Structure formats: C-alpha cells, structure tokens
Structure 1
C-alpha cells in the first residue's frame, strides 16, 4: 500500500510556468523529498481551465516514511516553503490517502 498526500493550488496568474517547475515531479519539492527514505514520487495535475486548481500527489511507501521526512528535513522544508512564497498562490491540504 502507498501513502499519498494531496494538495491543491491556485498559482497567481502569470506564474503558472514557475509553479509547474517548482511543484512537478522533477521540481524543487520532489528534489527535497528524494533525499528521504520511502519517497515514491510526485504527480502534478494541471487544470483544464485557466485559473482552476492544480493538484499535487506526493507518494510515500508508508505514512511513517513521510513522518520521518518531516522529522529529518523539517528545516529544509521550511526553508523551501519560504523560498517559494508567492509561487503557489492559494494552497489547501486536501488530505492523506492510502492507495
């Protein structure tokens, strides 16, 4: 079973390309997550209509692996969050799920 964490975002108009580079499966967040045990990848879903919500799905082997990431990389996580301030626009944690 895979632990998945889903977020939705509405980046500011004109910053969609920058958002996509940072939040894609090869972006800034994925590169940080890759340093942790149990990370299985990120999927970025682009909306069909401009201005609608984008979705990210971050996959981990287990919830414990995600919790380990938070514990071990909390400082780096907060730093990247500050660095990308304004790129994500509106953001809402949708929830954690099991696949």
Structure 2
C-alpha cells in the first residue's frame, strides 16, 4: 500500500496513471503474479490518494521489481512530478 500527496493541478493526470487500468497497472500486468490495483482518494484530504497493489505474494512483487528494476525506476521518475511526496505504508498479506 502506498500513500501519495498529489500536486495541485495534477489530479487528473495522477488518476489516469494510477487507476486500475493506468500505466502502473499495465506495467505490473507483465507478471502473471499481479492480481490488480485499487486506487482510493481520501475524503478528508482530496489531494491525498492511496494505492493497494495486489500480488500473489510479497515475494512475487519483490521478484518482479528485481527483474524489472530499470523499467520500474524510469516509470517512477517519469511520474514523480505528479506528487509532492509518496510513501510506502506497508505490505499486508491476505492470509
């Protein structure tokens, strides 16, 4: 799960990039271990968003990142201007 503070005026671009059918989800779909992505907007802070990326396991996510590290980094840098900050909240196994 990730938390993002979106820059003023970048909300629409952020929503497109981080939506369940956005560029991040399409990137993650390279892996059969990726189950989907949920995007949520804070009701108290409209510029604050949360994403929950679902994988078969944390190991599957880590393996994907190792195998696709350069592409992941390029995409992260490309979209960095949409947010003021982001932070990883954590991983939450469904078991």
TM-score, normalized by the shorter chain, greater than 0.5: yes
Aligned twin of 1:96: 91
Structure with the bigger percentage of helix: 2
Give 5+ residue unaligned stretches, structure 2: none
TM-score w.r.t. structure 1 length?
Answer: 0.87
**Aligned twin of 1:80:** 75
Q: TM-score, normalised by structure 2?
A: 0.91
The equivalent position to 1:20 in structure 2, one of 7, 15, 18, is 15
Q: Is the 8 A contact 1:44 1:56 kept in 2?
A: yes
Distance in 2 (alpha carbons) for counterparts of 1:87 and 1:63:
26
Matched, 1:64 2:47: no
**Offset at residue 97 of structure 1 (A):** 0.7
Q: CA deviation at 1:31?
A: 0.7
**Distance in 2 (alpha carbons) for counterparts of 1:67 and 1:37:** 14
Matched pairs, number: 94
* Structure 1 residue ranges, 4+ long, deviating more than 3 angstroms after superposition: 49-52
RMSD: 1.3
- In 2, distance between residues paired with 1:90 and 1:51? 15
Unpaired segments ≥5 residues, structure 1: 1-5
Question: Which of 1 and 2 has higher RCO (CA within 8 Å, sep 6+)?
Answer: 1
